[in-house]
Amino acid sequence: MSRQTIIAANWKMNGNLALVESITSTINSIEFADNVKVVVCPSYPYLAAFASKISNDSINLGAQNISEYAKGAYTGEISADMLNEMSVGYAIVGHSERRSIFRETSTQIAHKVKAALANGITPILCIGESEAERMTEQTETVLSAQLQPVIDEIGIESFKNVVIAYEPVWAIGTGKTASPEMAQETHKFIRRFLAEQNAEIADGVSLLYGGSVNAATSEELFAQPDIDGGLIGGASLKVDEFKTICSTSKG
């Protein structure tokens, strides 16, 4: 089964209008294969500016988070309806920084996934283990515990509209990157875990690798059979490097 290749950029709390201009003017000119999507997730203040400058059908706008609530007295939160009005098609959910710094639970993250899907927004569900958990061979246990509440909340069939990003916490922003073989092994486990409940759905889910992906490592990582692209952090803020990463996405 041919899965969609996705290159997603997470700017985190970085960037400015100048970066919006330089990134869009660079990647708008790239010709992508039909099954390749680029998703750029700038900070909320730059969503409208980015949306106004997209001229390539392969480029999509994403948000870095989404509220589980539809509306109400939730100061600082952004609802799915608001994101829809900004032409946002994707939302990062459950990033390790949201889990660790802002104490988001897997149950709360499952609610956010449900809210995104209910409003036609594709969630990019982030899962990953810490270095200590990797060293004590708990990776599969941790990933299963992060995935199961989402499956319980939305049902396995709804995963046909979910993207999963595996981001080992020990490799985010550290310069450390899982070897292609290590990353493939974990992605294969994720797909196998989903397949235990529905093999057809599991085969169609796009699995992304994140964790200090850069221009030097992207091509070999993306060539692995169960890796369908990447969630790119720091490298997505560097115009030439992000262009190179996008260009390795053959689909």
Active site residues: 95, 167
Rounded CA-CA distance 3/205 in Å is 7
Q: Output DSSP code: residue 224.
A: S
Phi and psi at residue 76, in whole multiples of 5°? 90, -10
DSSP letter for each residue of 58-116: TEEEEES---SSSSSS-TT---HHHHHHTT--EEEES-HHHHHTS---HHHHHHHHHHH
Measured over the CA atoms of residue 221, residue 222, residue 223 and residue 228, the dihedral's sign is positive
Rounded CA-CA distance 124/95 in Å is 9
Structure tokens that stand for 3 in this block: 């899965």
Which among 227, 150, 229, 224 is positioned nearest to 194, based on CA atoms? 150
